[in-house]
Amino acid sequence: MQVFKNADFHRRTRFRSLAPWLLLAAVALVCVGAYAFHRSRQPPEPRLLGYSTLLADLAAKRVVSLEIEPGREIRGRWHSTAQDSLFRVVYTSPAFDEVLRRAEAVGVTVEFAERGRQNRMEIINLLVVLAGFVVLGYLVSRGLSGQASAGTLGDEAVSTTTFANVAGNEGTVAELREIVEFLKSPGKFDKVGARVPKGVLMYGPPGTGKTLMARAVAGEGGVPFFAISGSEVTGFLIGLGAARLKGLFRKARKRGGVIFIDEIDALGSRRGNNRSHNEDDRTLNQLLVEMDGFSQREGVLVIGATNRPEDLDQALLRPGRFDRSVAVGLPSADEREAILRLHVTERAVPVANDVDLGRLARLMPQTSGADLANLVNEAAIVAARQGADTVAWGHIESARDRLLLGKERTGFRATDGEWQVVAVHEAGHALAGVICCPEDGLHKVTIQPRGQAMGVAFFSPAADQHLHSRRYLESQILKGLAGRAAEEMVFGPELVTSGAKNDLQHTTRIAREMVYHLGMGRTTGLIAHDTHSAPLSGESHAGMDRDVKEIVERLYARVKGLLELHRPALDALARALLEQETLTGEEAIAVFEANGVSVVRIAPTRPGVAVRGVPTTD
């Protein structure tokens, strides 16, 4: 049984719930339109005359026509084109011979109306209006009953996912294993007076497997799994969100189980913090009440997932509701390798002997499990498109380049002069990176257009780094500025191009981070900018901006001197790129070494091994 409904099902469900209200609005518009049309077709209200006035008007020949309804009234029209040309006379006497005689004498047309016709028309109009209200009431009741049936959400499901289907984030999995013990054996903890957690909040970047782990908790515990999204709880009817939550928790209490609320920040964000309407606050209040209201013996566990824990209401995070907060971060190199192996195994992807998943994991820093799953799938697609029986390293490289750099721009045309600029630009990046930052090994340099870029020099860290020194941050700025510096050195300052736009934005961001948040400015020192505390003075901001400019200009001058010192190597790599278009890292380094550059090679390391004196930890 599927745990999550697909998007089409959600759209159909929402449409069915809105259909009665749409019909209600349509019927209301039809009734209003019909009434307005009926009123527009009605003649103006006649003026009321006395009997003697009617006789005087007949004598004066001012009357055009008469319509007599015996025993009720006489209606007529004057010689006039104005809206008030109609009149009526209340005449209850059955004797109307005098009116007929005088009308015939002056040539006035006389007609007789059927007795009671006007009354019947009024009755018909009344019945039409009543029928409209009956239809409106029926549709309203249908709409309310439809919303009431949607008041309980979260289909009960049996999760077949276990921790065997989860790779990476071992620390998070270890914490969740304790939660499974609570679900399996609550009595063991109850004996010693331990209180079972009511809620677990998992937070971290998108794609790190929070939903998968929640399903694994239910699967390992052998309990029902109720999955909802924070955005589908609330509705436009007052009290609907609270009713839905009541129904959900009522179902969970009957058999116990895991209630998983994805994107809980849509439901549990701070009350009164620019929320759309008070109904959101009522729904959150109901969630708080429900999480307080169930006993640990009922075996209900609430798991929330969010990418923005800082937006959650503090009442939701207090002990007794979400007792535990579990960080689900991006996987390390070893964890990325485990995730890749899991996807290759579960999908039965046949990989060739030249595929090194450990190397691939190191080439994909700062990526999530979802990114890695997509990479394996894209590589399999490339292999199938080329008619291969196995997924080779070349297929993985092609898929990786597409995901990180964009699709190849086939048919792209540029002038020879532009290709020379691109080759020099990328050669500058590669040379500065190899010399200034050997920790990030050069993986590939190419002038093949991909995405919005005409070329790229791609570097791969030898190991995941969690602490970045000033030297490392400055080396990133040197790499970023080297492309612009190479253009200026080879072609002159008047011929530098717009190709360095993204590089300059990137290096400026790093320099601002160093000064504004890391206390690495030369004049401002340890002052840090914090948006949540008291604002800095204008003088401090100006000083920080001067420090940012000083860092960028100083490093630009430094990288220009470095490229001038190794100008033969720069020219040689640019020529090789124009000839071959793409060079691997080893091929590019061979060109540098053949032209007098001494390259420091750092072998990939495992976590916990020092990298150039900077220890890495997980």
Element (H or E) spanning 391, and its range? none
Give me the residues paired with residue 583 across strands. 445
H or E element in which residue 272 lies: none
Alpha-carbon span 434 to 399, nearest angstrom: 25
The backbone region for 208, taken as left when phi is positive above 0, alpha when psi lies in -120 to 50, beta otherwise, is alpha
- Catalytic residue status for 290: no
> In DSSP terms, which residues pair with 393 in a beta bridge?
none
- Amino acid in position 421: V
Q: Can you tell me the distance from the alpha carbon of 380 to that of 350, in angstroms, rounded to the nearest whole number? A: 9
DSSP for 375-389, written as a single string: HHHHHHHHHHHTT-S
CB 301 within 8 A of CB 249: no
Q: Give the strands of the sheet with 324-327, arranged side by side.
A: 156-158, 224-229, 257-262, 300-306, 199-203, 324-327
Strand duo 156-158 + 224-229: pairing: antiparallel
CA–centroid distance for 190 within its chain: 41
CA distance 248 to 259: 8
**Helix, strand or coil for residue 305?**
strand
- Tracing tokens 């890292």 back to the chain, one arrives at 585
Report the alpha-carbon distance of residue 44 to residue 224 in Å, rounded.
Answer: 70
The dihedrals phi and psi of 212, each to the nearest 5 degrees, come to: -60, -40
The residue annotated as part of the active site, out of 263, 335, 337, 426, is 426
Quote the CA–CA distance of 372 and 403 in Å, as a whole number.
10
d(CA 55, CA 35): 37
Residue type, 459: F
Question: Residue 463: which of 451, 454, 450, 472 has the closest Cα?
Answer: 472
User: Quick count: other Cβ atoms within 10 Å of Cβ 107?
Assistant: 9
Nearest residue to 290 via CA among 309, 266, 267, 262: 267
| Cβ atoms 47, 78 nearer than 8 A | no
Write out the catalytic residue numbers: 426
